[in-house]
Amino acid sequence: MNTTKRYPILNIWADDVTMESALEKVVEFVEGDNRVHTIFAANPEKNFSVPGDPILYEKYRTADLLLPDGIGIVMAARLLYKIPAKRVPGCEFMQETCRLAAEKGYPVFIYGAEETVNAKAVQTLQERFPGIQIVGRSNGYVPAEGMDDLIDRINASGAAILFLALGSPRQEQWLARYGSRLEHVRSCQGIGGTLDVIAGNVKRAPVVFCKTGLEWFYRLISDPKRLKRQRVLPVFASQVLLEKMMIKIHR
Ligand code: UDP
């Protein structure tokens, strides 16, 4: 059992994990105690959305794994705690979890996104990770009256890993409401818009942007609608610097 440090970063938290150690946690979740373990992504946008939403806050506070998804979180962890943090992007982690699931034979259920996106993403994952058991899937537009059926389908599928691709805070709200009815799921990751990326609807940034920590910038110039979401980045950066100054003053 590996014990993972969790660092507070302004209003949220991130775990001191690498891709490898985070995948080891998934093995622990699936093969360990009989409950749903939750995995979410920590990024600067969440620093502003989480405190204002009690359900989101509770889900993040009690999450079993908080991935250092955004470059802002990683830079903040390095600056505030001097740890050699590296990004573990939720989108890549989801696919590495699929690789692991294929190797270990863990059954997977994929819930979320538009019907065509969900179907295409499932097909792509099956091609990318031969042998993966995707035992069920559903688009993310199931009406409230269809929810009992969906829960029955997830339970009957025997899925140990559930990916929730409803966007935030919808996926956290769904878990708060229905999580206790999941019988076999042991690891549940909120993956936001990842299925759109896998299905090829949304392109990930070219490698050069990812390696230089400028994925956010690529996403901004390729989709200016994101400006609203990303305008929090400079505020986040200045708050982290202020926090660093406060730590120095109080030392
Ligand atoms: N979505 C869904 N059901 C809904 C609303 C949204 O399945 O009722 C899906 C949507 O199709 C998209 C994802 O949720 O695939 C939201 O992606 P976004 O990038 O906005 O999420 P984030 O990563 O920001 O949480």
- Give the closest residue (by CA) to ligand 1 atom 18: 193
Q: Is the peptide bond before 169 cis (omega within 30 degrees of 0)?
A: yes
Provide the token pair at 189. Answer: 């990751």
Give me the residues paired with residue 15 across strands: 6
Please give the C-alpha separations between residue 157 and each of 102, 111, 116, 195, in angstroms, as whole numbers.
16, 13, 21, 20
Q: Whole-prediction pTM value? A: 0.91
Provide the token pair at 31. Answer: 């093969």
**What per-residue confidence (pLDDT) applies to 227?**
67
Q: How much distance in Å is there from the Cα of 2 to the middle of ligand 1? A: 32
CA gap 177, 3 in Å, rounded: 29
Residues 65-88: tens digit of each pLDDT:
999 998 899 999 999 999 889 999
Give me the residues paired with residue 66 across strands: 40
Residues 19-42: tens digit of each pLDDT:
999 999 999 999 998 999 999 999
CA gap 232, 227 in Å, rounded: 9
Among candidate residues 11, 83, 90, 7, the one with its CA nearest the CA of residue 47:
11
pLDDT at 219 over 80: no
Residues 134-166: tens digit of each pLDDT:
999 999 999 999 999 999 999 999 999 999 999
Q: How much distance in Å is there from the Cα of 121 to the middle of ligand 1? A: 14
CA-angle at 61, arms to 20 and 43, nearest 5°: 60
Q: How much distance in Å is there from the Cα of 113 to the middle of ligand 1? A: 6
Contact residues of ligand 1, CB 6 A cut-off: 112-114, 140-141, 165-168, 170, 192-193, 195-196
pLDDT at 1 over 60: no
Residues 89-138: tens digit of each pLDDT:
999 999 999 999 999 999 999 999 999 999 999 999 999 999 999 999 99
Provide the mean pLDDT of the chain: 93
CA gap 154, 136 in Å, rounded: 7
Q: Which ligand 1 atom sits nearest the alpha carbon of residue 166? A: 14
